[in-house]
Amino acid sequence: MKTDRVTLLISPADKRQLQDLAEGRGVTASELVRQAVQAYGASSIDETRELAALTAELRGAIPAMRKSLRDANAAAERTIAALGGHVHHKVAEEAARYGAARRRRR
């Protein structure tokens, strides 16, 4: 295996921890670093990129989701109004009861 030298500047405490970890695993500090780099690997970088892309996609979808919810609420309000005051009164009572129950659970 062809190798290149890498100089790593770390605190004395970190150096001691690196040496202790290596000794505990029965490998050299260099081998431990190589193993750590391989374990971190490109897959972690790819996963981070994928998560960033998904996060951006979700953030982009939020405005449309909010609009959809507003539209659904408006449609429900129109339906309640069309059904008349009696039904609206019952819905308001249920909504108040639900809100009170939620506040008690907090």
Span 10-37, pLDDT tens digits? 999 999 999 999 999 999 999 999 888 8
Rg (CA), the chain: 30
Residue 24 counted as domain residue? yes
Return the structure tokens found at 94.
């249920």
Segment 55-97, tens digit of pLDDT: 999 999 999 999 999 999 999 988 888 887 566 667 777 878 7
The residue-averaged pLDDT of 90-106 equals 74
DSSP letter (8 states) at residue 27 = S
Q: Which residue has the tokens 């249920």?
A: 94
81 within domain boundaries: yes
Task: Calculate the alpha carbon distances from 89 to 57, 80, 86 in Å.
Answer: 40, 9, 5
Does residue 2 lie in a domain region?
no
In a domain, 1, yes or no: no
The number of folded domains in the chain is 1
Please provide residue 99's backbone torsions phi and psi, each rounded to the nearest 5 degrees. -60, -40
pTM: 0.41
Instruction: Give the residue numbers spanning the domain of 36.
Output: 12-105
Spatial distance between the Cα atoms of 21 and 28, rounded to a whole number of angstroms: 9
Question: Is residue 3 domain-resident?
Answer: no
Task: Burial-class residue 80 by CB neighbours within 10 Å (0-12, 13-18, 19+).
Answer: middle
